[in-house]
Structure 1
Amino acid sequence: MVKGKHAGGTTQRNGLTRADAPTVLGETRLVNARTRLVGEREGALADFIVAVVRSWRRVRRVARRWWKALAAVVTPLGWGIAVTVIIAFLLGYGLGWLELVAVGWAGLLVMVAAVLFLIGRTSHDATLSVPVNRVVAGESAVGQLTVTNPTRRLLPGTRIEVPVGEGLADFQVPTLSPSGRYEDLFTVPALHRGVIPVGPVRAIRADPIGLVRRERVWDEQIELFVHPRTISVPSMSTGFVRDLEGNPTRDLTSSDVSFHALREYMPGDELRSIHWKSTAKTGQYMVRQFEETRRSHLMIALSLADEDYAGDEDFEMAVSVVGSLGVRAIRDARTLSVVASESTPDFARRRLLAVKNIAAVTGTRLLDDLSRIDRSETALPLADLARVAADSIAGISLAFVVCGATVPVTALRHAARQFPVGVEVIAVICDPDIVPSVRRAGELTVLTIGYLEDLQQSMARVSA
């Protein structure tokens, strides 16, 4: 088996130049945590090294979890005071320096007083809501925080924090009377595709100086789906196959199973289509008309391999292309399968030849799953993705393969040859730095788009 590699210089691709493009087809070398440690070596020593590293990672995860629990209570200022107190006691009693001893005891009293502020519990009730939890990249969502007093006594003001992705929304809740209520709105910017966790809400109890803090965390967390940007593309007439078990269409034919009507005989009609009972009644030859039944199984394959993209811009465009094509197919009630490259686990011995299925039941489910995907350096490259998809999905009549700017036409041809004979393959190359084009490469149709809007015109030309 030939292993893939990158060639330096440039690759000429039907008049298009791209630097550092993969030029050797086939299975590429697996790159994961195991190969970084021991390469392709086998044996007891290699397994021992891998086992030691895996055990060290588990111990480190446990230590990090305990440290995180302790760090959640003591603030950086608190750690600074604690270190100061220890140093003051060591130097003060070691050197007989009474001033340092006094500093140490003063710091210890401050720390004890700070801990006393954590006694008790928070009696507030907090509710988090995001009325619209699905937006398109570049838009914003609005969240609402509601804090109530379920007790019969006056509750003092408290501080409420709401994690929003990697950010934090901070609220200062005033004193609430019995059955009192506090509401506030906040904005969640959704600049990039992904899934933004909002919450859980946490109430903060802390001392006035800020040495320690205690949190009460509510379990409610909301996922804000930031969908890829999509556009409306023309309905795809290509890829339909005449099949008696397919769905009826508006096209009429003289031989099928979905009866439509009777009409008068015309020269060229087959004699077997004559309806003799109607002919006897009318005195004129009458023939049967049927609605033509067709089937179409459309498959969209998205490469998630790092080597197939030049950067984030062409990858995000590729995800938008998959979303646009998928939503159009779902609206047309076509049988649809959407797959993406599966990544190989870090300590696997060999490359994992599998694909991940993306839900394509509804347009919303499809875009939700597309919000979660991301590139990986261990994901299957385009040629392997096409081979596994062709083997695992039966009855494909039309296949789209979507990739980035670094994939040469030779690799696309190799991917197209993985599908059975009779399957129409359309490759979509997303390259922000190129003029859009539609061209044929043997049995393969190649669409190169520079902007997402170019997909409309390219699909219209293909359908025509």
Structure 2
Amino acid sequence: MTRNVAAAAATRFETPSSSTGLTNVRTKIVGNRTGILADGIVAVVRISRALGGRVQAMLSRVSSVVTPLGWTILALVPLSFGLGYRFGWIELVVAAWAGLVLLLVAALYLIGRNAFVVELGTAHSRVLVGEPAFGKVTITNPTRRRILGVTVEVPVGRALAVATMPSLARGAGFVHEFPIPTPRRGVVPIGPVRTVRADPVGLVRREIIWTDADELYIHPRTIGVPSTTTGFIRDLEGNPTRQISNSDVSFHALREYVPGDERRYIHWKSTAKTGRYMVRQFEETRRSHLVIALSLSSFDYANEEEFELAVSVAGSLGVRAIRDARAVSVVVGERTPDFAKRKVFAVSQLSTLTRSRLLDDLSTIEWDESALNVRDIARVVSEKVTGISVAFLVCGSRTTPTELRAASASFPVDVEVVAIVCDPEMVPGFRRVPGLSVLTIGYLEDLQKSLARSAAA
């Protein structure tokens, strides 16, 4: 009786087939079937898949080295053999044999692998626009055998620096210097260095990449701005503001005591004379916070020359403020995406940690028709940046006086707003309107004199 119950329990809880419920490749091919036939089918599929992967990898390697001309010759050779021998066309047979010889010779150029040590470098990672710059490729042979010469290619921006490396003996080296064009501000990608082995006809071309890509920052031109020209407001360097404070360091005037005033500021001599409590008033002193807002909108500039001048102006002001250890923010307007439903009101703040970081960021910016104009930038800056004492608005000749006045109205009344209009066709000038100083410069050298004139006014 006990044996029968155990047998029934074993039958009830018998483990199902191992393939039940699986969805792997085997079950997709033969399902739950087992046996020699199912195992044979699985083995054939497995072998064919492995061979297919190797064939695909081989074809991928071949296609990466065979040029379009090589594929054309490779297709014409068997066709020429068949038609030439079929119709007795001797010229076509000769052309087929010549094509076959060319293919065999081209294949010899792909045999072997070079063991180079390749280094890519530049004399400086940052240069000023217009300054000469050079890159250098160094290749050495660390092996014990002679290495045949190859062609060395280095992409430089949209150009290509090409050099022919001769054969290198054991321990020998090859150095090639190439110029880097710097006529315009920007970031020039350099590299990666690649070696090219190709047959003389151009049927095959084998490229090997040896290094990573590098970058060369081409900084905008800047001019030295005197420190005094940036102090448009009174600050902690010894100049008070127009704001009146009950507690500060710069004495302004006396007034009658009101409940809540601190007793330590009571002026006792004046109190004795007037018979009423008199307290001191002070002019508020604070550390100046400069904001340099650069417009990237193409509608604010007549041409690219004006925009480059504006970038140089922003860089000159920012570099001077960083050198003076002032609090400075350099902002540019964001661009609206092409398919956005509404305009993006935002600004990007450039790095002002060091002079190089600021100029690096200025090297990457470009003007765009969808970027915020100077009026919108002023609106966003006045809302996002606190504690502004001086705001420089840098724009081009297409910005109208009405737009500049509207931009200055976005800031509080105690903020000194200076608009710098870059127009190479205008005579440098300075004019003052309520709440706004407008400087017009034609060249970067005009910035120094114009700022001095504005500060004096």
Decide whether the 8 Å contact of 2:190 with 2:214 is kept in 1. yes
Decide whether the 8 Å contact of 1:321 with 1:455 is kept in 2. yes
Consecutive unaligned residues of structure 2, counting only runs of 5 or more, are: 1-60, 255-262, 269-281
Match of 2:306 among 306, 310, 314: 314
Does residue 123 (structure 1) correspond to residue 115 (structure 2)? The answer is yes
Match of 1:142 among 129, 134, 141: 134
- Aligned-partner SS, 1:294: coil
Separation (CA, whole Å) in 1 of partners of 2:83 and 2:409: 77
Report matched runs for 1:272-311 at 5 Å: 294-311=286-303
Decide whether the 8 Å contact of 2:306 with 2:424 is kept in 1. yes
- Aligned-partner SS, 2:443: coil
Residue 449 of structure 1 is matched in structure 2 by 441
- Aligned-partner SS, 1:374: coil
Separation (CA, whole Å) in 1 of partners of 2:301 and 2:75: 49
1:249 CA drift (Å): 2.9
Residue 360 of structure 1 is matched in structure 2 by 352
Residue 429 of structure 2 is matched in structure 1 by 437
Decide whether the 8 Å contact of 1:297 with 1:336 is kept in 2. yes
Decide whether the 8 Å contact of 1:146 with 1:181 is kept in 2. yes
1:359 CA drift (Å): 0.8
Report matched runs for 1:334-413 at 5 Å: 334-413=326-405
Separation (CA, whole Å) in 2 of partners of 1:405 and 1:156: 59
Does residue 230 (structure 1) correspond to residue 222 (structure 2)? The answer is yes
In structure 2, what residue type is equivalent to 1:395? G
1:196 CA drift (Å): 1.1
Larger Rg: 2
Residue 186 of structure 2 is matched in structure 1 by 194
In structure 1, what residue type is equivalent to 2:209? V
Cα distance change of structure 1 residues 324 and 91 upon mapping to structure 2, 3 Å threshold: farther
- Aligned-partner SS, 2:372: coil
Residue 31 of structure 1 is matched in structure 2 by none
1:345 CA drift (Å): 2.0
Separation (CA, whole Å) in 2 of partners of 1:296 and 1:94: 92
Cα distance change of structure 1 residues 187 and 275 upon mapping to structure 2, 3 Å threshold: farther
CA deviation map 1:194-218 (0-9, x unaligned)? 1111211111111132222111112
Separation (CA, whole Å) in 1 of partners of 2:111 and 2:339: 46
Decide whether the 8 Å contact of 1:241 with 1:397 is kept in 2. no
Separation (CA, whole Å) in 2 of partners of 1:293 and 1:414: 28
Separation (CA, whole Å) in 2 of partners of 1:440 and 1:73: 68
Separation (CA, whole Å) in 2 of partners of 1:316 and 1:136: 13
Separation (CA, whole Å) in 2 of partners of 1:91 and 1:417: 85
More helix by share: 2
In structure 1, what residue type is equivalent to 2:185? R
Decide whether the 8 Å contact of 2:240 with 2:285 is kept in 1. no
1:342 CA drift (Å): 1.1
- Aligned-partner SS, 2:115: coil
Cα distance change of structure 1 residues 312 and 413 upon mapping to structure 2, 3 Å threshold: same
- Aligned-partner SS, 1:375: coil
- Aligned-partner SS, 1:154: coil
| Aligned structure 1 segments of 4 or more residues deviating by more than 4 angstroms | 69-72, 74-98, 250-259, 271-276, 290-293
Residue 454 of structure 2 is matched in structure 1 by 462
- Aligned-partner SS, 2:339: coil
Separation (CA, whole Å) in 1 of partners of 2:62 and 2:425: 50
Decide whether the 8 Å contact of 2:231 with 2:455 is kept in 1. yes
Decide whether the 8 Å contact of 1:399 with 1:426 is kept in 2. yes
Cα distance change of structure 1 residues 99 and 352 upon mapping to structure 2, 3 Å threshold: farther
1:442 CA drift (Å): 2.6
Separation (CA, whole Å) in 2 of partners of 1:104 and 1:402: 69
1:90 CA drift (Å): 9.6
1:310 CA drift (Å): 0.9
In structure 2, what residue type is equivalent to 1:447? L
Say how many residue pairs are matched: 373
Identity of aligned residues (%): 53
CA deviation map 1:63-101 (0-9, x unaligned)? xxxxxx999744565466568669868986998855345
- Aligned-partner SS, 1:298: strand
Report matched runs for 1:42-191 at 5 Å: 73-75=65-67, 77-78=69-70, 81=73, 99-100=91-92, 102-104=94-96, 106-191=98-183
In structure 1, what residue type is equivalent to 2:159? G
Cα distance change of structure 1 residues 462 and 87 upon mapping to structure 2, 3 Å threshold: farther
Q: CA RMSD for the aligned pairs?
A: 3.6
Cα distance change of structure 1 residues 108 and 355 upon mapping to structure 2, 3 Å threshold: farther
Decide whether the 8 Å contact of 2:413 with 2:435 is kept in 1. no
Decide whether the 8 Å contact of 1:250 with 1:291 is kept in 2. no
Separation (CA, whole Å) in 2 of partners of 1:128 and 1:186: 11
1:221 CA drift (Å): 2.1
Task: Provide TM-score, normalisation by structure 1.
Answer: 0.71
In structure 1, what residue type is equivalent to 2:237? T
Consecutive unaligned residues of structure 1, counting only runs of 5 or more, are: 1-68, 243-247, 260-267, 277-289
1:108 CA drift (Å): 4.6
CA deviation map 1:219-253 (0-9, x unaligned)? 322211111000011223544455xxxxx535699
Residue 237 of structure 2 is matched in structure 1 by 249
1:186 CA drift (Å): 2.5
Does residue 211 (structure 1) correspond to residue 203 (structure 2)? The answer is yes
In structure 1, what residue type is equivalent to 2:148? P
In structure 1, what residue type is equivalent to 2:165? V
Residue 325 of structure 2 is matched in structure 1 by 333
1:385 CA drift (Å): 1.8
Decide whether the 8 Å contact of 1:305 with 1:381 is kept in 2. yes
Separation (CA, whole Å) in 1 of partners of 2:358 and 2:450: 23
- Aligned-partner SS, 1:371: helix
In structure 2, what residue type is equivalent to 1:359? S
- Aligned-partner SS, 1:387: helix
Separation (CA, whole Å) in 2 of partners of 1:272 and 1:123: 82
Decide whether the 8 Å contact of 1:127 with 1:147 is kept in 2. yes
- Aligned-partner SS, 1:414: helix
Separation (CA, whole Å) in 2 of partners of 1:429 and 1:93: 80
CA deviation map 1:179-203 (0-9, x unaligned)? 2222232322311111111211111
1:458 CA drift (Å): 0.4
In structure 2, what residue type is equivalent to 1:341? G
Does residue 323 (structure 1) correspond to residue 315 (structure 2)? The answer is yes
- Aligned-partner SS, 1:425: strand
Higher relative contact order (CA 8 A, sep 6+): 1
- Aligned-partner SS, 1:403: strand
